[in-house]
Amino acid sequence: MSEAIEIYKAIGDHKKRLRAKYGVTCPVCPEKRPKAHPSILMPQQRCRVDGYVDPRPELTDQQYQEPQMNGISFIISQSGLRPLPSTPKQTPPGGGKLSVSQYVDIAEQFANGDTKANLARAYGVTHQAICYVIKKQQ
């Protein structure tokens, strides 16, 4: 399993622990819709169904971090990764398509010792595409 997935899981677990520890059921929900499950509200959270706002003060940083002892903060500090990395979808140059002249360039660069992974990155195509090009040019 990759490290990033481990971190996402740890963040999810942390939120679950926080909800388990500080979440309370909305007291207004049972009046508004007795058959449905009441909302779980964190301090200062507003119920989306009836607009009830939990009156407790917001969690302090310490309270917020408490359930994650040896958990997410440790993993993040060790990994050097940000907690919620956003991965913008990159449009590869040329839209992932290679021209015939690029085929020749790729085959040449590969012959000169460039790796397939490097070439894939440089041309914005998949590793498989590079393999295919090199095979075709041989």
CB of 41 to Zn ion, least distance (A): 7
CB of 51 to Zn ion, least distance (A): 8
Residue 41 or 72: the one with the smaller Cβ distance to Zn ion is 41
Single out the residue of 7, 10, 18, 29 in contact with Zn ion (rule: CB under 5 A). 29
Applying CB under 5 A, the span of 10-18, 23-31, 85-93, 123-131 interacting with Zn ion comes to: 23-31
Contact set for Zn ion, span 35-64 (CB under 5 A):
39, 47, 49-50, 52
Residue 38 or 67: the one with the smaller Cβ distance to Zn ion is 38
25 pairs with which residues across the strands? 40
Question: For residue 21, how far is the Cα from the chain centroid?
Answer: 24
φ and ψ of 4, to 5 deg: -60, -40
Is residue 23 part of the contact set for Zn ion (CB under 5 A)?
no
Which amino acid appears at position 23 of this protein?
Answer: G
Residue 34 or 95: the one with the smaller Cβ distance to Zn ion is 34
**39 in Cβ contact with 48 (< 8 Å):** yes
Residue 39 or 68: the one with the smaller Cβ distance to Zn ion is 39
- List interacting residues with Zn ion (CB under 5 A): 26, 28-29, 39, 47, 49-50, 52
